[in-house]
Each structure stands twice: as structure tokens, then as C-alpha cells.
Amino acid sequence: MTQTVPIIEATHVDKFYGDFHALKDVNLTVYQGQKMVICGPSGSGKSTLIRCFNGLEWHNSGKLVIDGIEVHEHAKEIRELRQEVGMVFQQFNLFPHLTVLENLTIGPMKVRKIGQHEAEETARKYLDRVHIPEQADKYPSQLSGGQQQRVAIARSLCMETRIMLFDEPTSALDPEMINEVLDVMVELADTGMTMVVVTHEMGFARKVADTMVFMEEGRIVEVSPPDQFFTNPSSERCRMFLDQILEH
């Protein structure tokens, strides 16, 4: 695969919450079409990092360029950027007062100003893609967790995003529903979408990732291809972490 066009470039990025130093001198490049999996213990800054990638959090110093737009709190293009960068949340965050179909069409219709007919057509296409075309007229609360997360993925896709960020997409799911979400993500990866995934699902990582990132205490400790990452990680801390989560 050609991995030459950088789409996310973080250079010396630092982020503070008050006195807490959440991201420490983060340097990372994501190329177009890349599938990056970020893991690390909780509190290591991995969610913070990807939340910075679509302006849900703002870094305090350093440079972050996404899709040619320099991201900072006062960037005028931030809304355009968010339309290009989709985000899937741990808690799904579907709009509970709207039906599944409305959840998918509201962004395209209100933000991209696309007509209802076309928006619904796109929505049904992506509902098909995530294997729940029959749930279009239900409300989110009538769906299982796995179905809700798949709707959330479809909602982002409906914006015709170029980058998809996943913030622990399976952590809030019952075990028997994890695979249906991961399957959809694997299929999405096959379409060539650029994906940055924060997850502890190492089976998924092995199957999909072309780059593994390990973070700890706000720092990027290791960036390596999966075969090297899983068999021979360069840092001791990463080895210990993998031992712990792969034990079961």
C-alpha cells in the first residue's frame, strides 16, 4: 500500500488539563489509508489525543495539521474539518429523540445542506453497510448496544468523512456484541478508509492495523508495525502491558 500522503501530522503537541500534563511532546503522522491502533493503560492520553484530532479538545502547544488545516481553538475551518473527520464514541452518543434514519440524515441535511431525499438514500446505503437496514425507523433506545454502535458508525459515514476516529468503540458493549461492531470496522478498513482506533481489542488490531501505537502517561512510547509490536516490542513497559491484556 502506498502510504505517502500525510493526513494527520502532530508535531511536539502538548496538552494540559489545569496542572495535569495530559499529552507530552506527541509527534505522530497518520498517512492516508492508514489503519492505526492506539493502545495503552487508562489515563495514558490516547482518548485525549484522538479527541484533539477533531477539535473536541484543544492542544496547548505544538502544531497539529489535519487534512491541510492547522487545528487550534480559533481556527475558522474547524467545522469543515469536523465534517471530514468522523468520530465514534465509547457511549455511542446517538440522538435519543430521533429515529435511526433521522440520526443519520440530520448531519447531512443541516450541516451539508443536502436534500432530504438524497440524505435518506445515503443513510439507507450506510445502514445496509452496517447490516441493520431494517432498524431505520426505530429509536436508538429500542436497539441493542451493538446495533447502536453500528448506527453511530453509519452516522459518521453519512457525512462522507475521510478519516474515522474510534474512541474505545467496544468498551461499553456486552461481550457478545463486540464482534458485530468489530466486523463492521474490519469491512470499513477494507474500503480504504483512514482509521485511528483507540482500543484494547488486540485480535482486531492484529487483523486490521498496519501501525500500532503504545502510549503511557501522555507520551508515545512505541510506534511499530503489528508483527514487531506483538512479538518483539522495543520498550519494556509495552511488553508488560501486552502480557497483561493478552494473558486471557
Give dist(CA 217, CA 46) in Å, integer: 9
Q: Which stretch binds another protein (CB under 8 A): 61-69, 83-91, 174-182, 237-245?
A: 83-91
The pairs formed by 106-109 with CB atoms below 8 angstroms and a separation of 24 or more are 107/155, 107/158, 107/159, 108/158, 108/159
Provide the residue type at 128 as one letter.
Answer: D
CB closer to another protein, 96 vs 225: 96
Q: Is 87 in the site for another protein (CB under 8 A)?
A: yes
Q: Is 169 in the site for another protein (CB under 8 A)?
A: no
Q: Is 96 in the site for another protein (CB under 8 A)?
A: yes
H or E segment at 223?
A: strand 219-224
Please list every residue from 218 through 237 that binds another protein, using CB under 8 A: none
CB closer to another protein, 94 vs 209: 94
CB closer to another protein, 31 vs 89: 89
Please list every residue from 116 through 145 that binds another protein, using CB under 8 A: 139, 141
35-39 vs 211-216, strand pairing mode: parallel
- Minimal distance, residue 77 CB to another protein, in Å: 11
Q: Is 106 in the site for another protein (CB under 8 A)?
A: yes
3-state secondary structure 3-30: CCCEEEEEEEEEEEECCEEEEEEEEEEE
Torsion sign (Cα): 233, 234, 239, 242 = negative
In the complex, which residues of this chain contact another protein (CB under 8 A)?
A: 54-56, 79-80, 82-83, 85-87, 89, 91, 93-97, 106-107, 110-112, 139, 141, 152, 155-156, 159
